[in-house]
Amino acid sequence: MPTDLSPIEKAKFVAAKRASQLVEDGMRVGLGTGSTAAWLVRCLGERVRDEGLQITAVPTSIRTAELAREVGIEVVTLDQAKWLDLTIDGADEFDPQLGLIKGGGGALLQEKIVATASDTMVVIADAGKEVATLGAFPLPVEVIPFGFQTTRALVEETLGSMDVLGRETALRMDGDAPFVTDEGNRILDLHLKRIGNARQTALALNQIPGVVENGLFIDICDRVIIGYGDGRIEMRDLDNGPVETGRLDFVDSDNIFADLPD
């Protein structure tokens, strides 16, 4: 790992490095999307190269698939894999019950499908992603383009009856044009500030015609690995609390990580 990374990037790296050690030969593994998940893919690529690790991977986005192939990981579709042993992904927020907000990278639909098609979902994150209550990070909602403004109005109306602190909505942009997901849809970011009942909010949003999926991952994550900028890690699950603490040493910059784009 490059030694000139910021503390946050170092935290992401050590969480990803520890999670990569959970992957065993022959596993079918879901690979998440985002900067932390990119570190995971690189770590797994290093194991494929140096240890001969043999896995098949189902990426949750086009960019994750491209990176996985680049580092030598075999990529298949979810239909080909049928079911996964393990999915490892990042999160924009996680709470004490391991509820998540995901979708900051715009891949929430594939991420949720892949995570729920897995025996185990592990989240990797830096310590700054932990919150007491979900909602500070804008909640992404994937919406089809047809009738977008009508769907947006229905979402805003629904939020009026939800236990949330804010109700502002914003169409996610990519420069001057709307952001487009891998499925050709739009992202509506909900600035809720605090979500009092995440399960109720997720169910209500998914009842709205035009909404494809939302970024609340409730009762999906089994374990979270938290990384710190000084190399410390903590592995935590809902049933047992902290199950492991430790520290990973940083390595020199002359390795596989130096040349790969994020």
The annotation status of 90 as a binding-site residue, yes or no, is yes
Consult the annotation and say whether 102 binds a ligand: yes
Q: Could you count the other beta carbons within 10 Å of the beta carbon of residue 259? A: 7
56-59 sheet: strands from edge to edge: 74-75, 56-59, 28-31, 84-89, 118-126, 223-227, 232-237, 241-247
Q: Is 56 annotated as a binding residue?
A: no
Angle at 241 between CA 235 and CA 246, to 5 degrees: 30
Give the residue carrying structure tokens 């994150």. Answer: 125
Q: CA 176, CA 33: separation in Å to the nearest integer?
A: 24
9 is catalytic: no
Phi, psi of 166 (to 5 degrees): -125, 160
The active-site residue out of 9, 46, 93, 111 is 111
* Residue 160, marked binder: no
Q: Has 91 been labeled as part of a binding site?
A: yes
Residue 232's beta-bridge partner residues?
247
Widest pairwise Cα distance in the chain: 54
33 is in an annotated binding site: yes
Is residue 45 annotated as involved in ligand binding?
no
Task: Report the b/e string of 87-97 with b at 16+ CB within 10 A.
Answer: bbbbbbbbbee
Q: Does the annotation flag 118 for ligand binding?
A: no
Cα torsion angle, 153, 155, 168, 125, sign: negative
Query: How far is residue 168's CA from residue 70's CA, in Å, rounded to a whole number?
Result: 40
Q: Is 116 annotated as a binding residue?
A: no
- Whether 246 has a binding-site annotation, put simply, is no
Q: Is 129 annotated as a binding residue?
A: yes
Tell me which residue has tokens 């990119």.
Answer: 38
Binding residues: 33-36, 89-92, 102-105, 129
Binding residues for substrate: 33-36, 89-92, 102-105, 129
**What are the catalytic residues?**
111
